[in-house]
Amino acid sequence: MFNKAKALNQNLDLEPEIAAAPAFIKQGEKLVQQRKYQEAVTAYNKARKIDPTLEIPDNDLKILCNSAYKTGLNPPCP
């Protein structure tokens, strides 16, 4: 689909993966609210793999890092 859009507009300078990274951050936020911490860590790791400059919300990061001790998760703690 991106290639079709690019063919229609040569000035289009979006990279589909980079555009998807914020969606993984939003997904992670929702999963933390639902206390689905393992899924949240997976979503945040996907976002960071696509765009390492993305920030995980501080509150979510605190929750995930605190829960890591109890659940054995491996969140991207500082």
The per-residue pLDDT for 35 is 87
* Helix/strand number for the chain, H first, E second: 4, 0
Q: How far apart are CA 42 and CA 75, in angstroms?
A: 8
Confidence check: pLDDT of 62 > 50: yes
pTM for the full predicted model: 0.66
Give the CA distances from residue 17 to residues 41, 43, 46, 65, in Å, rounded to whole numbers and listed in that order: 18, 14, 10, 27
Q: How far apart are CA 35 and CA 14, in angstroms?
A: 33
The per-residue pLDDT for 11 is 53
Residue 63: φ, ψ to 5°: -60, -45
The per-residue pLDDT for 27 is 94
| Domain boundaries defined on the chain | 2-71
Query: pLDDT tens digits, residue range 3-54?
Result: 554 444 555 555 666 678 889 999 999 998 998 888 888 898 888 888 888 8
Give the CA distances from residue 23 to residues 7, 19, 44, in Å, rounded to whole numbers and listed in that order: 25, 8, 10
Query: CB-based contacts of 67: which residues, under 8 Å, 6+ apart?
Result: 37, 73, 75
